[in-house]
A and B are shown apart, each in its own frame.
Chain A
Amino acid sequence: MKQTLLTFLDGGVHPEEGKDLTAHLPVEVMPTPDEVEILLSQHFGAPCQPVVKRKTMVTEGDLIGEVTKGLGASIHSSVTGKVKTIGSAPHPMKISTQSVAIETDHDAPQKEYSPCDWQALSREELLARVKNAGIVGIGGAGFPTHVKLAPPPQAKITTLILNGAECEPYLTVDHRLMLENADKIIEGAKIILAILGIGECHIGIEANKPDAIEAMSKAAKDGCTSGDCRISVDALKVKYPQGSEKQLIESITKRRVPAFGLPMDVGAVVQNVGTAKAVFDAVVLNKPLYEKLVTISGLGINRPANLSVKIGTRLKDIVAFLGGTKENLAKVVLGGPMMGFAIPNLDFPVTKTTSGVLFLTNDEIDTTPYSQCIRCGWCLEACPMGLSPNEVGIYVEAGRAEETGKFGIFECFECGSCAFVCPAKRPLVQFIRIAKMKAKR
């Protein structure tokens, strides 16, 4: 059956997918490490305050960090054991943040969760479970999910969109999750629909994952028996950044979220498929979010894998579990190769928003020094937001970053498409970051 693939109109690029390394590998549960280090800032908003003290005994799933002000999501222990230190740990975006290190008691019994009938729960109870489980948008932004699922009354939400695009090269966890847990994602989607009080859900999946499209379509058909529940799977054209929130909404609803607006402005709520699975765990099993699926990939690691790890697992423990890195390893990236952060060492722990760790060799990355802009205009064609990265770069280099507001830099979400296509290898995203710091909004 030939289906028309949905896509966004402007911009986009086609990086090499690199997903073959791990797409075929089932999710493997990594044994609990001897020690985990759980960051107290794993979400969009203020960091959590620790509610445990040094030497406190904690059980898997216990609350260890709570939200004291503003936006946030609570944080739970991923292991049973003793709090070793409350200190600070390196954070990919915030340099360092408060953290709780817990020594694992390997003899403690595994925590068991038994399913409940969520249909019997009220909307408030459902939302409370999502909140108590500390769920955040695990696709990357880390926005607290319970806030997204309680839109203000004036917002007219009509559509739930589940993001299964997984457009970043190399990453395959969403793909595997959709293959292995399609029914739970659909159940999670039904819970979210119940919380939002709507019936329409679209699941967007890039066409390079036909098996996931099939599995999800089947699960949607099986799980969606009542008349109000309309869950459909939309095959999306393979084009980066298909999984970006605004682009995904455009692909599926043909509506564009205005600049500085939110998806609710066009009646949509977007959740990652992984977040839907987390909602299932939180509501049906009453299990907080303390495990994470991560793709460990790249030619620089001995054994690429899709792993289920305890949040707080340090990257060095993962590397040891996967047989170490190769000699020609050149760069370690937290996240995908287009938007991820390069990290200087392996002390970083996995957080709720870690979707992958890439061990890249010189064959995979680009280290060519950059040169002058030749005005080819390829970045203008690539930019999904219709911005002018070339001009911003030239202004920043000329010391006139303050004047770049007119190019719409604050609409840039740093997808990297411009720098990806630039034949002069100009660090356009970096120029835009500098511009954002200096220009007035």
Chain B
Amino acid sequence: MSVSPHVKSKETVGRIMWTVSATLVPLLISSIFIFGFQTLVITAVSVLSCVAVEAISQKCLHRPVTIKDGSAVLTGLLLAYVIPPGVSILVPVLGAVMAIYVAKHLLGGIGSNIFNPALIGRAFLMATFPVAMTSAWLSPSAGGFFGHVQTGVDAVSTATPLFVLKHFGIQGVIDKFGSLPAVYNHFLMGLRPGCIGETSAVLIILGGLFLLYMKYISWHIPVSVVLSVAFFTWVFGGDAYFTGNPILAVLSGGVLLGAVFMATDYVTAPSQPIAKLIYGTGIGAITVLIRLKGGYPEGVCYAILLMNAITPTLETHFRPRRFAPPKGAAK
């Protein structure tokens, strides 16, 4: 069939997925310098597993195999980025099966999944490997970016700043790094324990700006997530109301990675600006709630998954402004 329009834009699903994947690569490189080669191994295993699981799933489900479109690669990268660097390589393999086969293809494949596959993968791993997923942290190289290569899984076991923050308060975090400016400095550069791809704030922000420039994402979701986390932490996160540290809250854990790369996933996020703001604000609020009152030190993953669940409702409720609809038409 040959139907109008006969010309199309140059953007393709593949181009989007591969571009976002490429935007994530600097984070991988920095994680290698920060945590050692183990991060490369885990990321490679995660990506290869996701691609393999996608191909096998699609074969089994008698659907066209679309591994070339880069979406499995992207999921693989994101899955690895929300795993601690010190886990066994079996962990990402299982995460990939859950993310790609269960959360994506059993729900209909690309575009039909309700929940972010990479985060379903992480949530599954949190349930199945609770110890590894909450304690296999590695200490970043103390001596600067390039001087240090770590090899062992059991190199240094340490606690994440959020864990310290939850149990010892902000003074505990400051004690670990020396001073508050030193804390910010380390956090911006990613020199802190954390999941593989979540620590380098500067690189995540640069990646987000690039995606904004490419018009692949809009500002609404990242900005509302960040502002919401900052606001609710400022109000409720201190010893008294309005004394929490919003900057530390945004720079720690997976807030930035989640805000820029996870919450903006087309499939699982709403499309309309107001809905995006509600969605992002909700993610921030739930994140802070889990951090302050929940059992886990970090809540971004569950916050995004919970808001994914109400995306269809937001999408139904918030539609584009019609040009000049007839009276009584659905809005």
Contacts and interface: CB of A to CB of B under 8 A. Distances in A.
Contacts of A366: 6-8
Contacts of B108: 372
Contact of A16 (B7, B109, B271, B330): B7
Interface string A220-261: 000000000000000000000000001000000000111111
B1 A430 contact: yes
Given A257-B324, A259-B325, A371 B69 contact: yes
Nearest to A406: B330
A408 interface: yes
Contacts of B66: 371
A340 interface: yes
B207 to A, nearest CB: 18
A433 B13 CA distance: 24
Interface string A410-424: 010010100111111
Contacts of B330: 406, 408
Contact of A374 (B267, B324, B325): B267
Contacts of A16: 7
B3 interface: yes
Contacts of A139: none
B267 A341 contact: no
A354 B116 CA distance: 49
Contacts of A376: 16, 266, 271
Nearest to A425: B8
Interface in B1-40: 1-9, 11-13, 15-16
A245 to B, nearest CB: 12
A342 B12 contact: no
Interface residues of A, number: 58
Helix, strand, loop or mixed for chain A's interface?
loop
Given A374-B110, A406-B330, A425-B12, A386 B320 contact: yes
Interface in A395-441: 406, 408, 411, 414, 416, 419-425, 427, 429-430, 433
Given A337-B7, A429-B4, A385 B12 contact: no
Contacts of A365: 6-7
B239 to A, nearest CB: 42
A339 B4 CA distance: 6
Interface residues of B, number: 35
Contact of B4 (A257, A340, A383, A406): A340
Nearest to B330: A406
B323 A386 contact: yes
A338 B11 contact: no
A337 B5 contact: yes
A364 interface: yes
A140 interface: no
Nearest to B311: A375
A372 B109 contact: yes
Interface string A1-41: 00000000010010110000000000000000000000000
Among B13, B16, B110, B324, the most chain A Cβ lie within 10 Å of the Cβ of: B324
Contact of B325 (A10, A408, A419, A429): A408
A169 B11 contact: no
A333 interface: yes
Given A360-B6, A425-B8, A429-B4, A377 B324 contact: no
B186 interface: no
Contact of A388 (B11, B16, B111, B320): B320
A296 interface: no
B7 A15 contact: yes
A343 to B, nearest CB: 9
B319 interface: yes
A333 B326 contact: no
B329 A423 contact: no
Contacts of A345: none
A256 B325 CA distance: 10
B179 interface: no
B321 interface: yes
B245 interface: no
B13 A13 contact: no
Interface in A362-390: 364-366, 368, 371-378, 380-381, 383-388
B135 interface: no
Contact of A411 (B11, B110, B320, B323): B323
Contacts of B272: 377, 380
A144 B1 CA distance: 32
B321 A371 contact: no
A148 interface: no
Contacts of B313: none
A385 B323 contact: yes
A341 B1 CA distance: 11
A331 interface: yes
Contact of A342 (B3, B110, B112): B3
Interface string B85-124: 0000000000000000000000011111000000000000
A424 B324 contact: no
A421 B109 contact: no
Contact of A387 (B11, B16, B69, B320): B320
Residue with the highest number of chain B CB atoms closer than 10 Å, among A377, A381, A388, A433: A377
A372 B111 contact: yes
B323 A10 contact: yes
B167 interface: no
B271 to A, nearest CB: 3
B293 interface: no
Interface of B: 1-9, 11-13, 15-16, 66, 69, 108-112, 266-267, 271-272, 319-326, 329-330
30 contacts: A10-B323, A13-B9, A256-B323, A257-B324, A337-B7, A339-B4, A339-B5, A342-B4, A360-B6, A364-B7, A366-B6, A366-B8, A371-B13, A372-B110, A372-B111, A374-B16, A375-B271, A377-B271, A386-B322, A406-B330, A408-B329, A408-B330, A411-B322, A411-B325, A420-B9, A424-B12, A424-B111, A425-B8, A429-B5, A430-B1
3 pairs of A and B residues whose beta carbons are closest in the complex: A377-B271, A416-B5, A366-B8
Interface of A: 10, 13, 15-16, 169, 246, 256-261, 331, 333, 337-342, 358, 360, 364-366, 368, 371-378, 380-381, 383-388, 406, 408, 411, 414, 416, 419-425, 427, 429-430, 433
Given A15-B5, A375-B267, A425-B8, 19 more contacts: A257-B324, A258-B326, A259-B324, A261-B324, A337-B7, A338-B5, A340-B6, A342-B2, A364-B7, A373-B111, A378-B11, A386-B319, A386-B321, A386-B323, A422-B8, A423-B16, A424-B12, A425-B12, A433-B3
